[in-house]
Amino acid sequence: MQIDRLFTMTYLLLERGSMTARELADYFEVSPRTIYRDLDVLSGAGIPVYASKGRGGGVRLLPDFIIDRSLLSKPERRSLLAGLQSMSALELPEAKSVLQKLGALFQERAETWLDVDFTHWGAGRLVREQFAALRNAVMEKRVLRFVYYSARGERAVRTVEPLKILFKGAGWYLYGYCRIRGDYRFFKLCRMEAVESTGECFTRTCPDQISTQQSFDGPTVRVVLRFEPELAFRVCDEFSPGQTERQPDGSFLATAEFPVGEWLYSYIMSFGPQAELLEPHSVREQLAERLSRAADRYREDRTQEDCHGQA
């Protein structure tokens, strides 16, 4: 469309400074005559564009044709460009386009000091495809159906009105209204399978403020853990500074809210013998029972190996 071409042409000239009519024609796959007609339209609309002939000539905009710099300070412009640059990790084509256009308008190039990759090692393409499907559903207000594995180890099919995608801690979550539960829920993206659109649209809007303390599909519990000094790296990885306290003997105390379920016990056991659950007592008892069952299983395996060896 001509409007799109005129808009893009303006930003190209802002970014590059000068382009010949032939270069513009090749870029838009039109004739030079069409480009000259477009230039007349731009000029008539008040865009200060002009063409010069001869060596070094071309199509240009007047040098002072930029956004009023008083709208945004230089640090604000750089912060905006950096934010858009970080969105390239999501491979959103519009982010790249906006970054290019704003860089031209600000007469600044985004410095490549920041690089973000939210995907797991070796799972980039699949994660990006899932993210794109979820994003489209949120933007188009389309109901989703998917298989979900809860923190309690339950597998269930959910029908959800997707409202927002949230990155918290070390993972992505989908926030939406679950029609099965009849309430708002957070769903961890890595626990979602067979995501598909039902084709149905919804009208529900996302609340202005979302409390991340809302249910992540279940109740939460306050947990206090003690870590040996050699697990300092895990403490730094898993908890924020406000959740931890270094003890005089070099150990760490960590306090945080976690969803109740099998995931919690598996998570605590992942720290090995260098971690101890101090509170709450009810979770400590359940953890002890699971550790006992695990120890019995390994004892059984060892007994069977000994029997086979003697045979």
pLDDT by residue (tens digit) across 277-292?
Answer: 999 999 999 999 999 9
Token look-up 């000091």 returns 113
Q: Which CATH number fits domain 124-201: 3.10.150, 1.10.3470, 2.30.30, 3.30.43?
A: 2.30.30
DSSP category for residue 99: H
- pLDDT interval class at 106 (50, 70, 90): low
pLDDT band at residue 69 using 50, 70 and 90 as cut-offs: very low
* Structural fold of domain 2-61: Arc Repressor Mutant, subunit A (1.10.10)
> Do residues 264 and 223 make contact, with C-beta atoms less than 8 angstroms apart?
yes
Domain with CATH 1.10.10.10 in the chain: 2-61
Distance of alpha carbon 62 from alpha carbon 310, whole angstroms: 92
Residues spanned by CATH 2.30.30 within the chain? 124-201
Least confident of 42-46, 56-60, 256-260, 291-295: 42-46
Return the pLDDT at 245: 93
Report the C-alpha gap between 13 and 59 in whole angstroms: 8
Mean of per-residue pLDDT scores for the chain:
78
> What number is the average pLDDT over the span 191-209?
89
Nearest CA to 68 among 105, 21, 33? 105
Average confidence (pLDDT) over 55-63: 80
Q: Which helix (H) or strand (E) holds 192?
A: strand 192-201
Of residues 101 and 157, the one with the higher pLDDT is: 157
Residues 6+ apart with CB under 8 A from 186: 166, 173, 174, 175, 212, 214, 215, 216, 217
In degrees, to the nearest 5, what angle opens at C-alpha 53 toward C-alphas 68 and 38? 55
Q: How far apart are CA 191 and CA 150, in angstroms?
A: 8
Predicted confidence (pLDDT) per residue in 138-149, tens digit? 989 999 999 998
Compute the average pLDDT of residues 290-307: 74
Burial of 222 (0-12, 13-18, 19+ CB in 10 A): exposed
- pLDDT score, position 143: 97
pLDDT-derived band at 46 (thresholds 50, 70, 90) equals confident
Q: How far apart are the first and last CA of the chain?
A: 83
Average pLDDT over every residue of 34-62 = 82
Alpha carbon of 213 to those of 9, 104, 159, 222: distances in Å? 47, 41, 22, 12
The structural architecture, per CATH, of the domain 220-298 is: 2-Layer Sandwich (3.30)
Distance CA 26, CA 59 (A): 14
Coil, strand, or helix at residue 119? coil
* Nearest of 74, 57, 69 to residue 18 by alpha carbon: 57
Q: Evaluate if residue 112 carries a pLDDT over 60.
A: no
**Using one digit for the tens of pLDDT, what is the confidence trace for 219-241?**
788 999 999 999 999 998 888 88
Q: What confidence category does residue 92 fall into, taking pLDDT thresholds of 50, 70 and 90? A: low
If we measure between CA atoms, which residue out of 116, 42, 107 comes closest to residue 78?
A: 107
Residues of each domain in the chain carrying CATH 3.30.70.240: 220-298
pLDDT at 295 exceeding the cut of 90: no
Structure token pair of residue 311: 């045979």
